[in-house]
Amino acid sequence: MYKFIVNTGPNKEVHRTVDTIGECNINLISTNNRLDTDKDYTVLFPTEYDGCEHCYEEKHWK
């Protein structure tokens, strides 16, 4: 299992896989916009990617 689930669509949001909850709406991310990765996109692209308010609150800023 990868550490992060990244929504690369317009929302540009990063979820921590082990902490995801229903409110993250992971199931609503289309396969085209979903990236499962060990790379933290909030670190790689800090001005673009937001941490999810539910499962990655310390990186949530939008």
Q: Is 7 exposed, middle or buried (0-12, 13-18, 19+ CB in 10 A)?
A: buried
Question: Closest approach of Cβ 32 to Zn ion, in Å?
Answer: 19
Q: Which residue in 15, 40, 42, 51 binds Zn ion (CB under 5 A)?
A: 15
What is the distance of C-alpha 53 from the center of its chain?
Answer: 10
22's CB contacts (< 8 A; 6+ apart) are none
Output 15 or 59, the one with its CB closest to Zn ion.
15
List binders of Zn ion among 22-51 (CB under 5 A).
24
Q: Which residues of this chain interact with Zn ion, rule CB under 5 A?
A: 15, 24, 52, 54-55
